[in-house]
Structure 1
């Protein structure tokens, strides 16, 4: 039997979105964030909200979500860390995401920003969210309508129903090292995985982890997700099988959610994202690291 995406309702295409923009229950969000890589600053990158680009043109009726500024724990030592479920639900509700709404998430340049917020919503028990396949780039390339007026949805009520275990910390990553029942996947680029780039501090990877870059799971021509059979083959090739506990990481828990999103689509159930990822691991000299 060929592979298939088992939750097609969580991936919508541009034609569907265009046809459903007037649905009063629909909430569409631009989730774009940019990482501006810098050297000599002691930090791996500068986080820049995509709000300025949103104001130059966005999908009609869509609002903006600022991942780091509005939806992450600003007191954490690393960027993009999850808030407690009730607090996160409150912040999503303030943006208009409620128990009776249907949410579509999109981003520019990479779907990883949309999959990150999708995974966050799933972690607090909200299951009526989808990612726009191809994101803003495909929408704009097709010549579809844009607008510059900013949208703000009315506040809603959102009940948190936490799913513990969708995000993990360094202890679970350590415990998985050498465990044949687990598979740790690095979603960063190959040079970072091999230890040829010290962006996050000590170069290298979590020992025993395998590499499947998030960028290798989308079509570079239009940023759509690859067909399910191709995605399954790529996970099979690195030994990520459904019976294993799959732990995914990257630099800051963003790219890893793209891998996790597609594994979920393929029917994998035992999945978790290491929230702090290499932003924490590479800086902690007590943790082992591997290169080559």
Structure 2
């Protein structure tokens, strides 16, 4: 069923479940496919961020796959280069903070990484949709596949070598999206505590209402990002978190303020702490 009056729109449910890491640094991941089949916005299709849109052979989960894999997977969902994508997730707010419920921003960033800028995030996701009394559907959805050409934007993706170089660079700004307690090292959820040296802290939870999934107003967000220098055009921001998910909320909020050049460190702390030669700072 297609309830949308405009043509060339594809609604995508990016729901995933991530049980947050404890002191051993291990997280548990679960596909949102079953949740999608139980209920979803009419006309929506499901994007499996754990398999179809990830390099499953990489050492760490949810690693960005090749552009070729992305193109095949997004084309299979009926998305062409002319399609406007509206992405949402199911925002199970009652599972926070044990489970991380915000995934739409990750897929928003991934689409932009592969050169697709015709993408919007539905604020509040399925939860707000249902609260407003809107129609839902159930069951799997099949669509006609189409052709998508990926045009990767390498400036939006940071690798570990980029972060190593950034530590000694004055024109790159590292931003941790983790909580102040994890950033400072007071709370340890990875095998080693602390943050990447010279990085600033902007907690993603201050940029979003974790109960409703709505994004904080730009008037609220601007001073938080300004005070760490993230709006300075002379520096290149690289944001990170635990696994490159929460960091995309910071990237999205910066994009709303006009910074569309923000890179996400895909491996984030999961990759960084795995090598004891990589420094950490506790403060």
1:178 CA displacement? 4.0
Cα distance in 2 for residues equivalent to 1:20 and 1:179? 50
Instruction: For 1:75-224, list aligned pairs within 5 A.
Output: 75-109=57-91, 112-224=102-214
Cα distance in 2 for residues equivalent to 1:178 and 1:20? 52
RMSD: 1.9
Query: What runs of 5+ residues in structure 2 fail to find an aligned partner?
Result: 92-99
Match of 2:43 among 54, 57, 61: 61
Cα distance, 1:20–1:235 mapped onto 2, change above 3 Å: farther
1:173-230 CA-partner distances (Å, limit 9, x unpaired): 1111143322111111222111133322211110111111222111345221111121
Report what 1:11 is aligned to. Answer: none
SS in 1 for 2:190: coil
Query: What runs of 5+ residues in structure 1 fail to find an aligned partner?
Result: 1-18
SS in 2 for 1:81: coil
Match of 2:279 among 270, 282, 288: 288
Contact 1:133 1:225 in 2 (8 A): yes
Q: Which sits farther off after the overlay, 125-134 or 218-227?
A: 218-227
Cα distance, 1:37–1:247 mapped onto 2, change above 3 Å: closer
Runs in 1 of length 4+ with deviation above 6 angstroms?
Answer: none
1:100 CA displacement? 2.4
SS in 1 for 2:137: coil
> Is 1:50 aligned with 2:32?
yes
> Is 1:273 aligned with 2:256?
no
Report what 1:231 is aligned to. Answer: 221
Cα distance, 1:188–1:39 mapped onto 2, change above 3 Å: closer
1:254 CA displacement? 0.7
Aligned residues: 273
Contact 1:59 1:145 in 2 (8 A): yes
